[in-house]
Amino acid sequence: MGKVICAGLGPGDPDLMSVKSDRVIRAARRIAYFRKKGRAGQARSIVNGMLRDDVTEYAMEYPVTTELHFESEEYRRLMVDFYADWADRLADLARDDDIVVLCEGDPFFYGSFMHLHTRLQGRAEVDVLPAIPGMVGCWNVLDTPFTWGDDVLTVLMGTLPEAELTDHMRRADALVVMKTGRNLPAVRRALVATGRLQDAWLVEKGTMPAQRVAKLSEVGDADCPYFAIVLVHGQGRRPEAAL
């Protein structure tokens, strides 16, 4: 009897994954990971050079193309079938031996693994290994304390309506915006409306070799991939926090 072990990989630098994830991945006889069709896959790339020679790999390829709108019924149905199918296969695989599922960032923090986690309940033993979230790797790259004192940190998705983005940005001290990409114009307008644009950074592939860091005010609207993260530092809330 094996387990489904979801190993969080952290922000991208293999040196930043946990000792536990590192050990589990190096020992794995079977691994699975999400990827787009025709791509190597970010999760798989992070573990390059770490795997056993005799490892068996299961690429869980997303069935959708960018032509389908995220909110269409066809998209929803394809994704439901995709997750249901892989939950079946992983539960089946775990009957013989452990299967290690690789997940970027921390699996419980906006991770796709949740769709499998939910469906595997009661069907297989599931272990989830936490990891450094992508945003933590990104703010580390900026080499400045991100939150301190009584700062309020708010994490927003760029896919939210602009009015909600603005409302949250007005109230928060430190800010993280994920899922930017084509939503950057709205994110930028909300930052301008709340006086935060000049303090905003864009970090792409933080901690990875292709890492890019830029002041958001100097980034064009068309020059922002979906996985780039916008960061605004907190300034500390209480007087004694400013020791």
Query: Which DSSP symbol is given to 175?
Result: E
The least CB distance from residue 43 to its own copies, in Å, is 17
Which amino acid, one-letter code, is at 206? G
104 CB-near residues (< 8 Å, 6+ apart): 8, 9, 10, 11, 12, 42, 43, 46, 111, 134
User: How far is 229 from 225, CA to CA, in rounded Å?
Assistant: 9
Query: Of the candidates 28, 91, 100, 172, which one interacts with its own copies according to CB under 8 A?
Result: 172
Query: Of the candidates 2, 63, 89, 167, which one interacts with its own copies according to CB under 8 A?
Result: 167
241 CB-near residues (< 8 Å, 6+ apart): 148, 149, 150
Query: Of the candidates 22, 98, 104, 204, which one interacts with its own copies according to CB under 8 A?
Result: 22
Closest CA to 56 of 111, 93, 3: 93
Radius of gyration of the chain (CA): 19
Residue whose CB is less far from its own copies, 26 or 223: 26
- Applying the rule CB under 8 A, the residues between 193 and 222 that interact with its own copies are 207
The least CB distance from residue 39 to its own copies, in Å, is 21
Query: Of the candidates 34, 86, 146, 201, which one interacts with its own copies according to CB under 8 A?
Result: 146
Residues near its own copies, by CB under 8 A: 10-11, 13-20, 22, 70-71, 75-76, 79-80, 83, 106-111, 113-115, 117-118, 128, 130-133, 136-137, 139-140, 143-157, 159-160, 164, 167-168, 171-172, 179, 207, 237-240, 243
